[in-house]
Amino acid sequence: MKKLALHWQILIGMTLGVLWGMLASSLGLVDLTLDWVKPFGTIFINLLKLIAVPLVLVSLITGVSSLSDVSRLSRIGSKTIGIYLLTTVVAVVMGLVLVNVFEPGKAFSPEKREEFKEQFASTTTQKSTDAAAVEGQGPLQPLVDIVPSNIFGSLTNNGAMLQVIFFALLFGIALIMIPPDKAAPVNDFFEGVNLVILKIVDLIMKTAPYGVFALLAGLVVEFAGDDPGSAVELLLVLGYYCLVVIAGLSLMIFVIYPILVTTIGKTKYKTFFKGIFPAQMLAFSTSSSAATLPVTMERCEQNLGINKEITSFVLPLGATINMDGTSLYQAVAAVFIAQAYGIDLDIMAQLGIVMTATLASIGAAAVPGAGTVMLVIVLQQAGIPVEGIALILAPDRILDMLRTTVNVTGDATVSMMVARTEGQLHPPKETATA
Ligand code: ASP
């Protein structure tokens, strides 16, 4: 019998995980699930995170050094960053338009607002403390943070991915500049290590269907507790807001990216979608672009035919700085909270949100919940009460899953565009041109 394709296996794993979670909540098996099922999800995420730093380091070094000269690197680099910024701004503007048209924040009754504010005030404090550290810094601090004073320190911290990227770029550039006979063994070494890392990714992915089962089962029981009804009720209250975010995210996935993939990438969207589906499923299950990165790279190379030279540079960078879903979500969430508090935001304030949401999404780490921490910055800059985050925390995990899926799809879209314009897209046989 033919083996089921990986993305179907993952999808089945996810569905069974949700069903198990719901069943466990109704049958009082919450503790059993938390003790015996959820840890396997954690192990799966750990495995993915484990490989993220070595992968970024080695793939960027090999990626940069394979670009024969520095001018080629700077051309591809500026093109990549330019498109990343553009798609992010499009996402924020789309979020703003939707939230202004549908006004989900005005749907709350005043009593409900009071209730939410009190209920979640304590949870908000932690998020604000995290963000306060960011807020208290000077304007150039983000730049300073990119340059590590000790590379081994950065390598031990999954949150310091930009520093690892900086070092890898520097290393790769220097490798291009030394005499070829001296560079050759170093290149060989990193290429070999790269293959080993990709093989490890392969092995980890074999466990993905079980990993996502455990992740989603754990998530559902944690959310629902012993009373699945409460989760449903909470979701209904915030459903309208979620729908607006989801509408924006869907527009990105089903309108904006298809336009870019078919016009500039010159590839059928179905082919593109089919190629990266497992990465999307994984983004959904892990809520982390960084954890999904190995699979995004593998699928872009093997299923879409994007040259390694492009993926190894564009995707690690994208996972870290390009978050269209996150920026869209931040725009909707900020205006939603303002609406709930009865604050009218004029056009200047909304333009300010375009700016801060773009920067905040670049600054957000590619891990679960990072977009929500950075949302505090957007709120503060726009003069919206930070406690308002309380309103949106409940369904945040679900939105995080969805926006991460968009983030990863956006990275893949841009890598396809860069690859096509650089003549580095060589689709495997059935991939026809649109
Ligand atoms: N979880 C998102 C990501 O990793 C970031 C966020 O929006 O929280 O892409």
pLDDT tens, residue by residue, 187-196: 999 989 988 9
- For residue 264, the CA-to-ligand 1 centroid distance in Å is 26
Confidence of residue 433 (pLDDT cuts 50, 70, 90): very low
Cβ–Cβ < 8 Å for 37, 220: no
- For residue 253, the CA-to-ligand 1 centroid distance in Å is 16
Per-residue model confidence as pLDDT tens digits over 3-19: 777 777 888 888 898 89
Of 183 and 344, the one with more pLDDT = 183
- 350/101 Cα distance (integer angstroms): 14
Top mean pLDDT of 105-119, 160-174, 378-392, 409-423 is at: 409-423
Q: Is the pTM value of this prediction over 0.85?
A: no
Confidence of residue 113 (pLDDT cuts 50, 70, 90): low
Is there a domain that residue 1 lies in? Answer: no
* Count of Cβ atoms closer than 10 Å to residue 116 Cβ: 21
Is there a domain that residue 174 lies in? Answer: yes
Residue 291 CA, closest ligand 1 atom number: 4
Among the residue ranges 6-10, 323-327, 402-406, 418-422, the one predicted with the least confidence is 6-10
- If you take atom 1 of ligand 1, which residue's CA is the nearest one? 368
- If you take atom 7 of ligand 1, which residue's CA is the nearest one? 371
Confidence of residue 315 (pLDDT cuts 50, 70, 90): very high
CB contact set of 18 (below 8 Å; sequence gap of 6+): 216, 217, 220
Backbone angles phi, psi at 254, to 5 degrees: -105, -10
Res 370 pLDDT > 90: no
Res 2 pLDDT > 70: no
Res 263 pLDDT > 90: yes
Q: Into how many domains does the chain fold? A: 1
Per-residue model confidence as pLDDT tens digits over 29-80: 889 999 999 999 889 878 877 887 888 788 778 877 877 677 888 889 889 9
Residue 10: C-alpha distances to residues 3, 15, 210, 213, 309 (Å):
13, 9, 8, 8, 28
Cβ–Cβ < 8 Å for 94, 328: yes
Residues within 6 Å of ligand 1 by CB:
287-289, 323, 326, 364, 366-371, 400, 403-404, 407
Res 159 pLDDT > 80: no
Res 402 pLDDT > 80: yes
The pLDDT assigned to 310 comes to 92
Residue 329 CA, closest ligand 1 atom number: 7
User: Residue 285 belongs to what domain range?
Assistant: 6-431
Is there a domain that residue 419 lies in? Answer: yes
Per-residue model confidence as pLDDT tens digits over 231-256: 554 556 578 899 999 999 999 999 99
Among the residue ranges 112-121, 252-261, 354-363, the one predicted with the least confidence is 112-121
Res 140 pLDDT > 90: no
Structure tokens at 50: 């484990």
Top mean pLDDT of 17-31, 147-161, 324-338 is at: 324-338
Mutation test of ligand 1: which of 287, 401, 408 has the most ligand atoms closer than 8 Å to its C-beta? Answer: 287
Structure tokens at 303: 């299923």
Q: What is the mean pLDDT of the chain?
A: 84
Which residue, chain included where needed, has tokens 């926006």?
A: 403
- For residue 11, the CA-to-ligand 1 centroid distance in Å is 21
- For residue 370, the CA-to-ligand 1 centroid distance in Å is 6
Query: What's the whole-number mean pLDDT along residues 289-306?
Result: 93
Query: What's the whole-number mean pLDDT along residues 163-175?
Result: 87
Of 53 and 24, the one with more pLDDT = 24
Res 161 pLDDT > 80: no
- For residue 373, the CA-to-ligand 1 centroid distance in Å is 10
Residue 249: C-alpha distances to residues 82, 89, 101, 243, 398 (Å):
21, 14, 16, 10, 13
Per-residue buried b or exposed e for 333-349, using 16+ beta carbons within 10 Å of the residue's own CB? bbbbbbbbbebebeeeb
Is there a domain that residue 110 lies in? Answer: yes
- For residue 115, the CA-to-ligand 1 centroid distance in Å is 28
In the chain, the largest separation of any two C-alpha atoms, in whole Å, equals: 73
The pLDDT assigned to 225 comes to 65
- Could you give the 3-state DSSP secondary structure of residue 306? strand
CATH (domain of 215): 1.10.3860.10
Res 124 pLDDT > 90: no
The pLDDT assigned to 37 comes to 93
